Amino acid sequence: MDAMRGMMEKLKLTVNDDKTPLCQIPQKRFDFLGYTFERCYSQKTGRAYIGTRPSPKSVKRMVENII
């Protein structure tokens, strides 16, 4: 958290500790800026990577805009 806070200070941004949870990607997924980030595995190699997809909330909002 200290490293992230240092980078944010260089960008003149602040971090709200109450709204900024730390999570381990292999164990948890999280939503950020309309995307869900989670650990996925390659079908070809079986290697792990961090995958993204639209979050359910953003998909729901998009569908409501279309209808």
pLDDT at 26 over 80: no
Give the global pTM.
0.59
Lowest-pLDDT range of 19-23, 27-31, 42-46, 53-57: 19-23
Query: How many other CB atoms sit within 10 Å of the CB of residue 2?
Result: 5
The distance from CA 9 to its chain's CA centroid, rounded to whole angstroms, is: 21
The pLDDT of residue 63: 94
Q: Does a structural domain hold residue 30?
A: yes
Q: Does a structural domain hold residue 14?
A: no
Q: Does a structural domain hold residue 3?
A: no
- What is d(CA 33, CA 23) in angstroms, rounded to the nearest whole number? 16
Q: How many residues does this entry show for the chain?
A: 67
pLDDT at 27 over 80: no
Q: Which residue range(s) make up the domain with 29?
A: 25-67
Reported as a single tens digit per residue, the pLDDT across 35-51 is 999 999 999 999 999 89
Q: Does a structural domain hold residue 2?
A: no
Q: Does a structural domain hold residue 65?
A: yes
Domain count, the chain: 1
Q: Does a structural domain hold residue 44?
A: yes
